[in-house]
Structure 1
């Protein structure tokens, strides 16, 4: 991963696969021997939150910062003070999973004083199979609303088009073309592309060396999946 900064913040529209991506990105940093904290700032989606796999991630050596106990299932922004510790500890890498609308972005905006320009990456995750990000107009509109609510500037786009376990390579490549068009209009880089581990190698071959591909192992399961 090029141009890595100590703090990486993932934001997106609802249903983008952002939490799955944040978890896998944090695991990749841990594999490189870096001390990593995953910060769950998702106050929007009750079904896909980092806190739901906290115990599994902690067994892998990651630190997970999230509401606990009676607040673990809350839809309110009950954010622990430990977040400030991640922001201020220059030796620790932080991966932030931020809720996917204006409410989530506003929760992130509370920490703007701790996020000077150049200290973080704010990456907007795009799934072109979702209703609000099917085309570059929708992507730009949603990105601008998140920037306005958070008072922070997006620094890159992540190509994360998927249909869950039904995703095939054509789906990923078709979505990637949409992301590239949005990136061109926004003058932003596509910093990362993703695919399930079984598809990642072929996707990397198709995209070439300029865009790194992050293989995804699936952690998040909705309660109705039965798995």
Structure 2
């Protein structure tokens, strides 16, 4: 399935790209292979889609969840716990980082540049071609460069994650992937994998040769959508 992953995986991208959902799914996938996996919530931007909102559920699976403690867990402030360093330094622990959206969110990641020498991590830029600012190859490249500048780290691959929520169909995924693949070609970067909601995976399988397919389950939804049937 997926290959060429490092001990530390950083998920970046613009708001609404699906970073948090991918971070959770990726961490759970790793937990099936490694005894110690930590997921770090570095999202100081979006109050509705944060890994910390699923802390209790994720910890029941054996994942270690690192996020601001207590009353700071729901705060819109850059309160970053020192235990993040533990994930970065513990060679026995696989680490997954959910980084806040856009260049503003990536600034928080830049604090840890000293712990992330080149070659020690994968930094994935998650692209959803149905979102504002990343609907073209040029938009993806511009956003990716701004994230690199803010974090002072280099993106190592793109993740193709085009979707329209519950309205996503195979054409949505395939048309968006063509845009993302064009951006990757211009950047000289690989597409690490194509993420797709698991009910659609069978219809996509075999239609994007040479790139792994990563079926995901939906864990996150905004408070106003719970019980609505919209997600």
Task: Tell me, yes or no, whether TM beats 0.5.
Answer: yes
Task: Write the deviation string for residues 27-85 of structure 1: whole angstroms up to 9, x where unpaired.
Answer: 11111234210000000000000000111111111110001211011111100000000
Query: What is the SS of the residue equivalent to 1:132?
Result: coil
Say if 2:34 and 2:94, in contact at 8 Å, map to a contact too. no
Say if 1:156 and 1:188, in contact at 8 Å, map to a contact too. yes
Structure 2's unaligned 5+ residue stretches are none
C-alpha distance in 1 between matches for 2:100 and 2:190:
22
Partner residue in 2 for 1:56: 57
C-alpha distance in 2 between matches for 1:41 and 1:226:
24
C-alpha distance in 2 between matches for 1:116 and 1:39:
18
Query: What is the SS of the residue equivalent to 2:22?
Result: helix
Partner residue in 2 for 1:30: 31
Task: Write the deviation string for residues 101-128 of structure 1: whole angstroms up to 9, x where unpaired.
Answer: 2221110000000000100000000000
The runs of at least 4 aligned residues of structure 1 exceeding 6 Å deviation read none
Partner residue in 1 for 2:4: 3
C-alpha distance in 1 between matches for 2:13 and 2:51:
15
Partner residue in 2 for 1:218: 218
**1:201, distance to aligned residue in structure 2 (A):** 2.6
Q: Which moved more, 1:174-183 or 1:193-202?
A: 193-202
Structure 1's unaligned 5+ residue stretches are none
**1:211, distance to aligned residue in structure 2 (A):** 1.1
- The reply to whether residue 43 of structure 1 matches residue 44 of structure 2 is yes
C-alpha distance in 1 between matches for 2:199 and 2:130:
20
Say if 1:112 and 1:152, in contact at 8 Å, map to a contact too. yes
Partner residue in 1 for 2:169: 168
Say if 1:204 and 1:212, in contact at 8 Å, map to a contact too. no
Aligned length: 226
